[in-house]
Amino acid sequence: MLKGAVAGRYSAALYDLAVESNQVDQIEEELKAVDTILQENTDLQKVLYHPQITAAAKKELLDQLFKGKISELTLNFIKLLVDRRRETFLGDIASEFIAKANAARNIVEVRVTSVVDLKDQEKGEFDQLLAKLTGKKVQVSYATDPSLLGGVLIRIGDKVIDGTIKAKLAALGDRLKQIS
């Protein structure tokens, strides 16, 4: 609960500043880049998230890493998170910011998971179908999961369309348990 509330508040504030300064696309890309760097560098995470390392030391490190490479707005925002001991929420804030930017662009993110890699033609058909279904532009990411046994699992925001054999077998198992 706290994580979502914190991410929502901070991402909304940053988004408003980004809109006001006409930097939404730039800040979105910078947040993605910084989050990727943090995800890929566990040593950096340990330093940045360590509670006994001072905010001043963390901000100095951020300056060394990012000054001149990202906008002052993004850098100062990350430093604000450090000052308020909210730096561990950066990934969630970035995700919320991207969601707000996509909503403003009438774009929805969709994740399609299947047992095997879909062919390009199938992906194209899914893209068209999902755009028609949602009435929005779609950004579709595709993944594979052999445990699904067959069919597809589609996530549109927080909604799930589960057309997998695994789900159908689980539902059948539940019905059989109710009968016996």
Tell me the torsion sign for CA atoms 98, 104, 105, 109.
positive
Span 131-156, pLDDT tens digits: 998 899 999 999 999 888 888 889 98
CA 165 to chain centre: 27
| Position 147, amino acid | S
Fold of the 2-103 domain: Peroxidase; domain 1 (1.10.520)
| Position 50, amino acid | H
Span 82-139, pLDDT tens digits: 999 999 999 999 999 999 999 999 999 899 999 899 999 999 998 999 999 889 999 9
Predicted TM-score (pTM) of the model is 0.76
Q: Output the six-digit token pair for 164.
A: 């997998």
Domain boundaries, given as residue ranges, for the chain? 2-103, 107-179
- Cβ neighbours of residue 152 under 8 Å, at least 6 residues apart? 112, 113, 114, 163, 164
